[in-house]
Chain A
Amino acid sequence: MTHWPFLSLLIWVPIAGAVPVLLAGDRRPQLARWLALLAALLTLAVNLAMLSGFDYHSATMQFVESKPWIPMLHVHYALGVDGIAMALILLTTITTVLVIIGAWQAINSRVHQYMAAMLVLSGFMTGVFAATDALLFYVFFEAQLIPMFLIIGVWGGPRRVYAALKFFLYTFLGSIFMLLGLIYLYLKSGTFDMAAWQALPLGMNAQTWLFFAFLLAFAVKIPMVPVHTWLPDAHVEAPTGGSVVLAAVMLKIGAYGLIRFALPVTPDAAQHYAWLVVALSLIAVIYIGYVALVQEDMKKLVAYSSIAHMGFVTLGLFIVFMLIRAHDGDAAQLGLQGAMVQMISHGFVSGALFTSIGVMYDRLHTRLIKDYGGLARVMPWFAVFMVFFAMANTGLPGTSGFVGEFMVILASFAASPWLALLAAFTLVIGAGYTLWLVKRVVWGTPASSKVEAMPDINAREALVLAAFAAFTLLIGIWPEPLVKLLDPAVNQLVQTLGHSKL
C-alpha cells in the first residue's frame, strides 16, 4: 500500500514550521503568530485527512513507515498508529492549535521563540505517540523536555526557574533507568521493535526489574503519588499555554508509555504488582482530592485535580489485571476503554480549565482564589464556560468527564465493590473542590473594584473555550466514535495481557 507518509508529516510539519517562525524574529511578533497558526492548522489538516483513511476495524498498526536509522544497532525510524495512538495524536494536534490561538495576546515577549517552542513540542509529542521503535520513542520522549523546559523557564511565573529545573530533573531521573531497561531488552531480543518485545519471553526476575524501570519513568510523567510533586510547581509557574499542553497531552504520555511498555512487555510483573499501582491510584484519587480542596491558588487546585484524574487512568489500566485473573474479559476491556476515554476527556477538560484560569490571569494578574468573586456578574459569557468546564471536571453526565469515570468505576465494581466504592469517592471530593472553586470565583459579589472592571471574553478567547466545550460535550453525549476508534486496539491489548510470558 502506498500512501503519503502521514505520520512523518505530522511530526515534521510543525518542527519545520518552527524555522520560519523563528526567522520572523523578535520585531515581527504578528507574523510569527500567523506563521505558527498556519503550521498548526496545516498539521491538524493532515491529521484529519489521515483520520478519513483510518481503518476502524483493525487493531494492527496503520500508516506504517519504517526505514533503517542506525543499522549497527538495528534502530529503525519506524512509525505507526493504532486507535489508542491515533486518539492521542488528535488530542495533540487540536490542543496545539488552541494553545497557539490562546497565546495570541497573553505572550508578549519573544513571541517567535514561544511559538517555535510550542510547534517543536507538538512535533515531538506526536513522535512519542507514533513511534513503534523503542529507541525512537525514547528520543522523542526525552527531546520534548527541552522545549517544555524553555517554555516554563522563559515565560513562566516568579518561581519559574525552580519549577523548570524540577520538571526536567524529575522526568530525566525516571527515564534514564528506563533507558537501561530498553538497552537490556535490545540485547536480549536483538531489536528495538516494540511489537517484537511484546512477544519476547522473559523470566519473572527480569520482568520485575524492567517493570519497575518502566513504572518509575512513566509514574513520574503521569504523575502518580508519590512522585507527583513536580507537577503543581510546573503547572503554577508555567505560562497558560504551557500548563494546557502539560495537562492535556504530556501527562498522557506517561499513561501511554505504560500501555505500550509496562503492560504488554512485562505482563506477569504487572499482574503481580497490580495491587501496588491500584493502591497508589486510589491514594491519588482520594488523598490528592483532599489536597486539592485546600488550595488557594487556582492553578494549583486544577493541577492537583489533574493528579486525581490521572489516578483514575492508572486505576483503569491496572484493575484490568484483577479482572483478567477473574476471567472477566468484558469488564477488563471496559476498564481499559474507560482509562483511555478518561485520558482524552481529561485532556480537553483540564486544558479548558487552565485556559479559563489564563483568561482571568491575563486580566487581573493573580491566580489566588480570594482575589476573585462574582465573575458571573462582570463576565457572564466567561462564567458560562467556566461553570460548564467545572461541571465536566466533576464528571456530570452529558460531559466527557462522566463517560470515562463511569466506565472505570463499573470495571472496578466487577473487580471488587470495595474498590468501586473508594474510586467513587472522587465524585464527591471532585465535586467538592471544583464546585467550591466555582462558588468562590464565579458566584458571590465581586471581590474588589478591579474585578468589577474586568472585561468579558473577546471573540478569540470565546473561540478557544467554545472549541474545548464542543469536544467535551461531543465525547459526553456521543462517545461512540471515540470508543469505536479505540475498540480494536483495546481488545487486542486485553488479549495480550491475558497470556503469561512465563
Chain B
Amino acid sequence: MSWNDLINVLPELYLTGSICVLLLFDAFAGARYRNAMHWLSMLVLIVTALLVVAAQRVGPATAFSGMYINDALAGLLKLFSILAVALVFVFASPYLRMRKLAAGEFHTLALFALLGIMMLVSAGNLVMIYLGLEMLTLSSYALVALDRDSPRATEAAMKYFVLGAMASGLLLYGMSMIYGATGTLSLAGIGATLPMSPHYMLAVFGVVFVLAGIAFKFGAAPFHMWLPDVYEGSPTAVTLFVASAPKLAAVGMALRLLDLGLHPLFPYWQDMLAVLAVASLAIGSLVAIVQSNLKRMLAYSTIGHMGYLLIGLCAGTSFGAAASVFYAIAYVLMSTAAFGVILALARTGFEADQIEDLRGLNQRSPWLAGLMALAMFSLAGVPPLFGFWAKLLVLQAAIQANLLWLAIVGAVAAIISLFYYLRVVKVMYFDSPAEDRTLIATSDASLRWVLSLNALALLALGVFQGPLLDWCLRGITG
C-alpha cells in the first residue's frame, strides 16, 4: 500500500468515514436535529464530488495492484451517481417528512449504496465487483423496506431480496468458473489470459452466469421480475433512488466485466446481450401499455430503456460503449424528473401514483404538467429532447456494428412505447381535472426549483449535448 493508492481511493475513504459519523450523529442527536441530517448528507455529497474531481488523473490510474481503477469512466459515472443521489435527497425530503419516514436511515443507507456504486464502477477485480454489488444491493433491500408497516413495501423488499440473492449467487458462480478457466481474479489479467486458456469453454459457460447477474442488475428481461414490484411497492422516494443511480452502476459493472475482462469472448456475449435486449424492448414496450399505475408503467418503461442500453453494449465498439454510458446518464436524469413530479404532487394520504391521478394537471399546475411532459417526451425519444440523442447514439452504434436488425427492433419498440408516454401527456393536458381530487403542487421551494432545473436540463442537454457526448467518449477511450 502506497501513498498513491490512498489518494486514488480518497473519495471512497472520505465517504465511508462520513457515513460513520452521520450514523453516530443520527443515533445521538435526537429528533430535533432530524433536518440537519439532510443538509449534512448534502454536504458530504458535495465534498465527495469535489474529491472525485480532485482524484482524477490525466490517464487511467490503478491502486492496490490493479484492484481499483481510477479512470475517466469511473470519474464520469461517479459524478453522475453523486448528482443522482443528491437529486434523490432533495426530491425525497418533503415526501419522507410527510410520511414520518424521515429517519436518518434513508440518508445513511442511500450513501452506503452510493459507496457500493463507486466501488463497483472503479472495480478492477472480480472480488471488488462482488463487494461493490453487495454493498449496493443490500442497502437497496433495506431501503425498499423502509416503510416497514406497509405490507406492499415489505413484499417488494422480500421479492427483491430473494431474487437479488439468487442473482448474486449466479454471478458468483460465473465468476468462479472464469477464475477456474484463467486462474486470476483481476479483470485485466482475465482479458490477457483468456485467449490462451485451455479451459476456454468453461469461461464461456461462466459468461452465461455473469451475464445473468448483470441482466438482473439492469432489470433486463427475462430477469426483470423484481422490477415492477419494487417500483410499485416501495415508497416513491425509494423508487426514485432505485430507478436512478444504480443504473449507472450497472452500466459501469457491465463495461468493466465485458469490455475489460471478457472481451475475448465478445462473439459469445454479443449474441446473449442481443437476446436480452430484444426481450427487454418487447416486454418494456408492450406490457407498459396496460398499466394503470404510473410507477409500474415507469418500471416497464425502464425495462425497455435497459433494452436500448444493451443495444449499445451489444455493438462491442468503443462508440457503442460510450453510447450506453450516455444512455444511462440520460435515463437517470429523465427518471429523476418523472419521479420528481410524482413526489411533488404526493401528499399525506395521496400518492399521485396512478396515471389517472394526473388528470387535468395542466389546469391545476401548468408548470408541473409542462415538466412532466418534458420528461415523457424525452423518455419517448422525441427530438430535440435529451432522450432522443441517447436513442440516436445507440441506434447508430448498432448500425455501425452491422446490427441493423437490432436497430429496427429498437425503432419498432420506440413507436410502441411512444403510445404510453403520450397517454400520460393526454391525461395531463386533454382531460379535465377530477372534481373530488385536488391536485396541489408541493410548496417545498427546493424541490420546485431543483425539479424545474432537472426537467429543463432535459431540454438544454437536448440542444447542447456535445460536451457530454465528448465526455462519454473520452471516458471510454481514455
Contact = CB atoms under 8 A, between A and B. Distances in A.
Interface stretch (B26-34, B75-83, B377-385): B377-385
Interface stretch (B42-50, B350-358, B438-446, B464-472): B464-472
A435 B469 CA distance: 58
Nearest to A165: B422
Given A145-B382, A161-B426, A165-B426, A176 B411 contact: yes
A168 B366 CA distance: 22
A139 B408 CA distance: 19
Contact of A149 (B407, B422, B469): B422
Interface stretch (A65-73, A276-284, A311-319, A464-472): A65-73
Nearest to B429: A154
Given A165-B419, A176-B411, A187-B396, A72 B366 contact: no
A384 interface: no
A192 B139 CA distance: 46
A160 B430 contact: yes
Interface in A173-187: 173, 176-177, 179-180, 183-184, 186-187
A172 B469 CA distance: 25
A160 to B, nearest CB: 7
A179 B392 contact: yes
B36 to A, nearest CB: 38
B383 A138 contact: yes
Contacts of B395: 179-180, 183
A176 to B, nearest CB: 4
Interface string B377-408: 10000111000100010011001100010011
B399 A180 contact: yes
B469 A139 contact: no
14 contacts: A70-B465, A110-B362, A110-B363, A138-B383, A154-B362, A161-B426, A165-B426, A172-B415, A176-B411, A183-B392, A183-B395, A183-B396, A183-B399, A186-B396
A69 B422 contact: no
B419 A169 contact: yes
Contacts of A150: 425, 429
Interface of B: 362-363, 366, 377, 382-384, 388, 392, 395-396, 399-400, 404, 407-408, 411, 414-415, 418-419, 422-423, 425-426, 429-430, 465-466, 469-470, 473
B450 to A, nearest CB: 22
A169 B392 contact: no
Contacts of B430: 153-154, 160-161, 164
A179 B419 contact: no
A138 B381 CA distance: 12
Chain A, interface SS category: helix
A70 B466 contact: yes
Contacts, number: 86
Given A146-B377, A186-B396, 6 more contacts: A70-B465, A73-B469, A113-B366, A153-B429, A179-B395, A180-B395
- List 6 A-B pairs, minimum CB-CB distance, nearest first: A139-B383, A153-B430, A176-B411, A142-B383, A183-B396, A70-B466
A380 to B, nearest CB: 39
Contacts of A168: 418, 422
A72 B470 contact: yes
Contacts of A161: 426, 430
Interface in A33-69: 69
Given A153-B429, A161-B426, A164-B430, A179 B399 contact: no
Contact of B473 (A72, A113, A184): A72
Contact of B384 (A143, A176, A184): A143
Interface centre among B362, B400, B430 (most CB of A within 10 A): B430
Interface of A: 69-73, 110, 113, 135, 138-139, 142-143, 145-146, 149-150, 153-154, 160-161, 164-165, 168-169, 172-173, 176-177, 179-180, 183-184, 186-187
A176 B363 CA distance: 32
B399 to A, nearest CB: 5
Contact of A173 (B388, B392, B408, B415): B415
A258 B170 CA distance: 53
Nearest to A152: B430
Contacts of A177: 408, 411
A143 B385 CA distance: 9
Contacts of B470: 71-72
Contacts of A146: 377, 382
A180 B408 contact: yes
Nearest to B380: A172
Contacts of A69: 466
Nearest to B463: A69
Interface centre among B392, B404, B473 (most CB of A within 10 A): B392
Given A146-B382, A169-B418, A177-B411, A184 B426 contact: no
Contacts of B392: 135, 179, 183
A148 B411 CA distance: 22
Nearest to B416: A169
A165 B362 CA distance: 18
A178 to B, nearest CB: 10
Contacts of B388: 139, 142
A2 B430 CA distance: 46
Contacts of B426: 153, 161, 164-165
B6 to A, nearest CB: 36
A422 B414 CA distance: 40
Contact of A176 (B362, B400, B415): B415
B419 A142 contact: no
B466 A71 contact: yes
Nearest to A153: B430
Contacts of A172: 382, 414-415, 418
A47 to B, nearest CB: 23
A143 B466 CA distance: 19
A164 B431 CA distance: 13
Contact of B469 (A72, A110, A145): A72
Given A150-B429, A165-B419, A165-B422, A143 B383 contact: yes
Given A165-B426, A183-B399, A139 B384 contact: yes
Contacts of A145: 382
